[in-house]
Amino acid sequence: MISGDGSAPALAAYRPAASSCLLTHLPNGLRIAVESLPDVRSAAVGIWVCSGSRQETSGLEGAAHLWEHMAFKGTTRRSALDIAMALDRLGGLSNAFTGREETCFHARVVDTGVAEAFDILADLVLHPLLDARELKLEKDVVRQEIAAVDETPEEYAFETFWKSLWADPALAHPILGTVASVNGLSRAKLLEWRQRWHAPERLIVAACGAVDANALVAAAERAFGGLPSGPAAAPAPAAPRFRPRALAEERDSEQCHVFLAFPAPGLTDPRRYAVSCLATLLGGQLSSRLFQEVREKRGLAYSISASPHFLSDCGVLEIYAAAQPDRTDELLHVLRGELEAIAGCGGSAKAVTEDELDRAREHLTGLLYLGAESTEERMLRLARNVAVFGRQVELDEAAAALAAVTLDDVRAAARELARLDKAALCVVGPSVDPAWAETFGTSFERP
């Protein structure tokens, strides 16, 4: 829609479809969050487990992800084929994923399929068989996943980079685990994992769309109400320890994959909104500084981006680019120059402007509301908010927090980018020049 003067209307004037949100819990601690949307025919329903790879201790790396796979390989009520056919018959979409702090089983269906979809998801979480033959086969599948990452230069480089960032092994290791750790995951270890981390207090039933909230609460009580409360609250994860360092690995590939990272606040820190704005104007949109300088003006890289990664209590602002080896030195000098400029340092100082901040805020606000058009995105957002904050963070509240970000907030975040003693650099490519690290005042370690 275009306004009378030919300009686009402000995003702040937009309001998503009216909804009502129910938050409740069962006596055993399981939480239920339902956002009902009266004007849609679809619904998304999910079971969110507040544990992921970060909760895995030595010898259990990859347990959360393998458990997620095994849930679909048959239950006491349904075979693997029965599960697949039942989900297909609903005419919807189903999936699961494992993150560093969560595992989620979810489905998107038309309104008439909500009850059956939830019944299937609850069955997956509560009654997996963990058949020995299926476990052996699925471990083969996961090993193929790991091999696929190893053979994809960008993914391999990211895993190398992420592992290098953290002193805490639980935060550093891959979500998939390693071939060695997956080989060692027995049925007994998976059951031990479930007993520890799938207690009702760590489960959230979430739904959004054409959902009868009362009916879903009743279904959740029938499915999960008999579960006893879990053991004493699990200990908090180890305090994250970001490691400023420079790591280089030579590996057969066409390009050098460059990752540069700085520590950032976590989801519970309101400064994350300023960091999000900074990442967006630095390398998160077509008009961003890095996209314009690195790709449009110099043609140094096709892939160039800046993005935040937020966990509950910590985060990272990551810059990524892939360039030919003979242009990587120039790329690194450009990155340092742009970081110093945006931080207001050196002769090329170019502090963040109000216009840049406006574009970043509007971009992020637009993405926020675009996500609100999907019942699945809204359901996942609801579950994550309940997991992290214990409540729903309304869209307007998040939009207002973005609107409240000031130039001073972003400039303060930008100044941290000039702190090279806090930077982590990782380069993976066919050849790595030791002098490249000197651009950031450091020297490379080799794996």
Q: Are residue 219 and residue 263 in the same domain, yes or no?
A: no
Whole-number pLDDT of residue 350 = 87
What's the residue count for the chain?
A: 447
Give the dihedral of Cα atoms 67, 69, 75, 80; nearest 10 deg: -170
Q: Are residue 184 and residue 324 in the same domain, yes or no?
A: no
Final residue of a domain: which of 224, 258, 288?
A: 224
Whole-number pLDDT of residue 52 = 97
Residue 59 forms part of a structural domain: yes
Residue 446 forms part of a structural domain: no
Half-sphere exposure of 118 (CA within 13 A, CB side): 28
Integer CA distances (angstroms), 318 to 165, 307, 423, 424, 425, in order: 11, 5, 10, 9, 10
Contact 340, 441 (CB under 8 A): no
Residue 254 forms part of a structural domain: yes
d(CA 181, CA 145): 14
Q: Are residue 215 and residue 316 in the same domain, yes or no?
A: no
pLDDT in tens, 245-266: 999 999 999 999 999 999 999 9
Final residue of a domain: which of 192, 224, 256?
A: 224
Residue 236 forms part of a structural domain: no
Residue 241 forms part of a structural domain: no
Whole-number pLDDT of residue 73 = 97
Whole-number pLDDT of residue 20 = 78
- Spell out where 255-303 has E strands: 256-264
CB within 8 A of 400, min separation 6: which ones? none
Q: Are residue 175 and residue 254 in the same domain, yes or no?
A: no
Closest Cα to residue 390, out of 264, 224, 214, 267?
267
pLDDT in tens, 297-309: 999 999 999 999 9
Give the pTM.
Answer: 0.92
Q: Count CB neighbours of 202 within 10 A.
A: 22
What amino acid is encoded at 259 in this protein?
F
Give the 3-state secondary structure of residue 100.
Answer: coil
Q: Are residue 110 and residue 202 in the same domain, yes or no?
A: yes
Q: Are residue 177 and residue 61 in the same domain, yes or no?
A: yes
Q: Are residue 196 and residue 256 in the same domain, yes or no?
A: no
d(CA 356, CA 353): 5
Q: Are residue 212 and residue 253 in the same domain, yes or no?
A: no
Q: Are residue 158 and residue 257 in the same domain, yes or no?
A: no
Q: Are residue 91 and residue 167 in the same domain, yes or no?
A: yes
d(CA 248, CA 332): 14
d(CA 371, CA 208): 13
**Domain extent at residue 256:** 246-438
How many domains does the chain contain in total? Answer: 2
d(CA 106, CA 93): 9
d(CA 343, CA 273): 17
206-229 CB burial, b ≥16 within 10 A, e <16: bbbbbbbbeebbebbbebbeebee
Integer CA distances (angstroms), 77 to 74, 126, 317, in order: 8, 11, 45
Whole-number pLDDT of residue 347 = 60
Whole-number pLDDT of residue 114 = 97
Q: Are residue 216 and residue 94 in the same domain, yes or no?
A: yes
Contact 388, 378 (CB under 8 A): no
Q: Are residue 291 and residue 367 in the same domain, yes or no?
A: yes
Q: Which of 35, 56, 61, 68 is catalytic?
A: 68
Told to judge if 249 belongs to the known catalytic residues of this protein, a careful annotator would answer no
Whole-number pLDDT of residue 4 = 40
Segments in the chain below pLDDT 50: 1-16
Whole-number pLDDT of residue 233 = 60
Residue 345 forms part of a structural domain: yes
Residue 251 forms part of a structural domain: yes
CATH number of the structural domain spanning residue 211: 3.30.830.10
d(CA 64, CA 51): 8
Residue 6 forms part of a structural domain: no
Integer CA distances (angstroms), 403 to 111, 211, 286, 352, 371, in order: 35, 32, 21, 16, 18
d(CA 417, CA 425): 13
Half-sphere exposure of 63 (CA within 13 A, CB side): 27
Whole-number pLDDT of residue 18 = 55
Whole-number pLDDT of residue 344 = 81
Q: Count CB neighbours of 125 within 10 A.
A: 22
